[in-house]
Amino acid sequence: SPSLERCARRCPQKTRLAAGSGSPESDHPLLLSQLASPVPGCLLIAPKHEYDHFLRESLVFLYELTDTMASGVILEKQTAFTVDEMIPGFDMFGENPLFMGGDD
């Protein structure tokens, strides 16, 4: 699809991540893994050399992807919570602040 190809060109493979159910042998309820192509629900990590200064080193939650468009929100607003408070057992990022996106 045209929008998927545009999104894939702008987002190198190593920067596409998805959270999903962990395997039984995993200590974490969620896993982060690389995706071959972006899908709704994944996180896109903009590289340091991103030409759009608003996106440079940003984390974008992709919530919609069709043949003609992609929609996401930059997760840039720090909340008063840590990752572990909202996702217990996600020790890898547990003590880090939780960020959200969208309008105020």
Distance CA(60)–CA(76), nearest Å, equals: 9
pLDDT in tens, 70-89: 898 888 888 999 988 988 87
21: which DSSP letter?
A: E
Question: 93 or 82: which carries more pLDDT confidence?
Answer: 82
Q: Which residues of 19-38 are buried (b: 16+ CB within 10 A; e: fewer)?
A: beeeeeeeebeeeeeebeeb
CA neighbours closer than 13 Å in the CB half-sphere of residue 28: 15
Angle at 59 (CA atoms; ends 42, 12), nearest 5 degrees? 70
Residue 6 pLDDT more than 80? no
* pTM of the shown model: 0.56
